[in-house]
Structure 1
């Protein structure tokens, strides 16, 4: 347990630092909005390209990792739809619950994997991002379409945003550079790696800035449902399937980490733009991020990390 706490503790401290800076409004709100764009469109894609372009992906059990992560996501996606009428939620609220149950905070995931298992963990995490980001984005956009919260004009914009998603493009670029044997030649490797190093600490601080403590006052059926799936049921399924398929320790830990992550802060923007319940989304992001500081170490301790 001490090893897990030592690995994840500094990450949570950076998130809390961001929460304090956000509370103090230091620097201005406009600064953080612009910094989030730099992280999302430049620094984090650089980290993914750097990791995937030079990694020995052949050592990662990609097929079994995909079965564990994507299979579990699809199972709970189907269950949420099967029970969405019994939940008694309005369409907008259901889309936020859906996002809260399935989306994951990529910054915390990659930083946690690297803290736990070094470069091997970062490589498996980059593969997990390449597998999960396209699927999760398609599922979440589909939930807005199916519930009818967005009009036809917004549909085209959301699909184009999906195609231009910088994380998806970065994963494709990194994999292409790796498979082609080109990698990152000359100075480009060091330059892209330096950019990527800035992504995780800044990303974690930005996660803290995005938290909304006042949203914690909301404790309705939607909050309980999303938190139950995201922090308990989804990690339990992933852990069980990972053991069943015999994943190695690093891949198992990273799969469990990504399953138990709090939902992504970007889900709030998507909820606001596509007709979801933005206030419920804020409650889920804040609550899950704080709760995960306790549940993540417990899950990883259970896995024997």
Structure 2
């Protein structure tokens, strides 16, 4: 337990630092909004490309990892739709509950995997991202469509955003460079590596800045259901499947880490743009991020 908290503790401190900066509006203006865009569109994609392009994918049990992570995601997605008429939530609230239950914070995931298992953990984490990012984005867009919160313009905008998602594109580019044997020629490797190093600490601080403690004042059934699925059911199911499929210790740790992560801060923007309940989404992000500081080390102790 001590080694797990020692690895994850600095990540949580960076998130709390971000929360303090956000409350104090430091440095002010739209600095953090612009910084988050820089991280999302440049720094984090650079890290994904650099990691995937050079990863020894043959050492990662891709098929079994996909069965564990994507299988869990699909099962719980079906469960949420089955629960929908029983939750008495309007369409906008349900889309936020769905996002809160299936999305995951990529910054915390990659940083946590690297902290726990070094370069090998980062490689497995990057492969897991390549599997999960396209899947979760498609599932969320389909949920907005099925829930009926999109008009025609919203549908087109969401499909366009899906096709232009920088994380999906980075995963495709990194895998393409890897499988083609091109890798990262010349100075590109060093450049992308330097950019990628900035992504995780800045991303973690940005997570803290995005927290909205006042949103927790809204006590909502959807908040409890979504958080229960995300922080309890998802890691429990992943742990069982990882054991049944015989994942190696590093892959099992990374799979469990991703399953136990809080939802992504980017879900708030998607909720606001595509007709979701943005206030509920802000509450979910804040509640899950704070709760995960306790629940995540406890889950990781079970592997």
Which category describes the TM-score, using the shorter chain as reference length?
over 0.9
Q: 1:29 Cα shift?
A: 3.9
Provide the rounded CA distance (Å) in 2 between the counterparts of 1:12 and 1:219: 25
Provide the rounded CA distance (Å) in 1 between the counterparts of 2:87 and 2:234: 18
**Matched residue of 2:301: which SS?**
helix
Q: Deviations over 1:51-87 (max 9, x none)?
A: 0001101100000000000000000000110110001
Provide the rounded CA distance (Å) in 2 between the counterparts of 1:141 and 1:39: 22
Provide the rounded CA distance (Å) in 2 between the counterparts of 1:175 and 1:62: 13
> Within 5 Å, which residues of 2 pair with 1:93-112?
93-112=93-112
Q: Report the equivalent of 2:250.
A: 250
Unaligned runs of 5+ in 2: none
Are 1:194 and 2:198 counterparts?
Answer: no
Provide the rounded CA distance (Å) in 1 between the counterparts of 2:218 and 2:297: 25
Q: Name the Cα RMSD after superposition.
A: 0.6
Provide the rounded CA distance (Å) in 2 between the counterparts of 1:219 and 1:117: 38
Q: Deviations over 1:202-241 (max 9, x none)?
A: 0000000000011111222101100100000010000000
Provide the rounded CA distance (Å) in 2 between the counterparts of 1:214 and 1:188: 44
Unaligned runs of 5+ in 1: none
> Within 5 Å, which residues of 2 pair with 1:221-300?
221-300=221-300
> Within 5 Å, which residues of 2 pair with 1:199-218?
199-218=199-218
Provide the rounded CA distance (Å) in 1 between the counterparts of 2:207 and 2:173: 26
Q: Report the equivalent of 2:119.
A: 119
* Structure 1 segments of 4+ aligned residues over 2 angstroms from their partners: none
TM-score, normalised relative to structure 2: 0.99
Q: 1:103 Cα shift?
A: 0.3
Q: 1:251 Cα shift?
A: 0.2
Provide the rounded CA distance (Å) in 2 between the counterparts of 1:200 and 1:114: 10
Provide the rounded CA distance (Å) in 2 between the counterparts of 1:255 and 1:286: 23
Are 1:155 and 2:134 counterparts?
Answer: no
Q: Report the equivalent of 1:146.
A: 146
Provide the rounded CA distance (Å) in 2 between the counterparts of 1:28 and 1:125: 33
Q: Deviations over 1:129-162 (max 9, x none)?
A: 1000001001101111101111011101100100
Change (3 A) 1:166 1:300: same
Q: Deviations over 1:1-31 (max 9, x none)?
A: 0000000000000000000000000011400
Q: Report the equivalent of 1:22.
A: 22
Provide the rounded CA distance (Å) in 1 between the counterparts of 2:187 and 2:76: 44
Are 1:34 and 2:34 counterparts?
Answer: yes
Q: 1:46 Cα shift?
A: 0.3
**Matched residue of 2:143: which SS?**
helix
Change (3 A) 1:210 1:6: same
Provide the rounded CA distance (Å) in 2 between the counterparts of 1:29 and 1:201: 21
Provide the rounded CA distance (Å) in 2 between the counterparts of 1:180 and 1:141: 31
**Matched residue of 1:302: which SS?**
coil
**Matched residue of 1:262: which SS?**
coil
Q: Report the equivalent of 1:75.
A: 75
Q: 1:278 Cα shift?
A: 0.4
